[in-house]
Amino acid sequence: MSADDVLEFWFQQCRPWQWFRRRDSFDALVRERFGEAVERALAGELDHWSCGPSSGLALVLLLDQFTRQIWRGQAQAFAGDPQALKLSLAALERGWIAAESQRPRRQFWLMPQLHSEDMSVVRAVIPVLKQHVDEATASVACRYLAELERFGRYPRRNLALGRMSSPEETAFLNAVPGFRSGSASPPQSIRRVENVGDGHGPAGAKPHRGAVGAEANGSAR
């Protein structure tokens, strides 16, 4: 398995709607083809990929996107977030994202920052998304920030992470059409990545290459 294999699969073999909507068959394909690589990435065995922009992006995909498909609705879906966020922030500082000519690649470079539950990270990435992706994705980030400011976390992750929802969070989740705060995962209608992603257009919007959603690949934020 090489970094090029990951990039070719995600950006050439996959269609954009596959990034943004839950399909059990697609999740199974990702698990079969890349499950071992994701495990190696989580264990730090692929850290050498972070030395270059192309291989670094492949590593981000393994840690931030493929985890969400392989372990959808489970705590392990978020296991790669800290590593992916570190890579994303480093790529931004090094100028790799600004130098990337393809918008979808810039988008997925930045997804770990949108997935963060750190308000300062999400706040800082909003103008970056406007500059390097599009206004729609930045608007999604603004909604995420408002949710973090209200709750201090993404309530839709609570069940997967074994977190007790507050009464206010439960009321918020129950107000989402079709969502059940006790369900194992969100319904199809909100699994779209306004990306993302997952990732992933905004909820209720048509998916396209720029907009990202509640969570890349349809997982809860």
Cα–Cα distance between 162 and 151 in angstroms, integer?
16
Where residue 85 falls (left for φ over 0; alpha for ψ -120 to 50; beta otherwise) is alpha
Count of C-beta atoms within a 10 Å radius of residue 101: 6
> What domains sit in the chain, N to C, each tagged with a CATH number?
3-191 (1.25.40.10)
Running DSSP on this structure, what letter comes out for residue 12? I
Cα–Cα distance between 14 and 1 in angstroms, integer?
17
Contacts by 22-26, CB closer than 8 A, 24 or more apart: 22/72, 22/185, 22/188, 22/191, 22/217, 22/218, 26/69
CA 59 to chain centre: 13
Enter the pTM of the model. Answer: 0.84
Cα–Cα distance between 55 and 51 in angstroms, integer?
7
Residue by residue, pLDDT tens for the chain (221 residues) are: 999 999 999 999 999 999 988 899 999 999 999 999 999 999 999 999 999 999 999 999 999 999 999 999 999 999 999 999 999 999 999 999 999 999 999 999 999 999 999 999 999 999 999 999 999 999 999 999 999 999 999 999 999 999 999 999 999 999 887 665 554 333 333 333 333 333 333 333 334 444 554 444 445 55
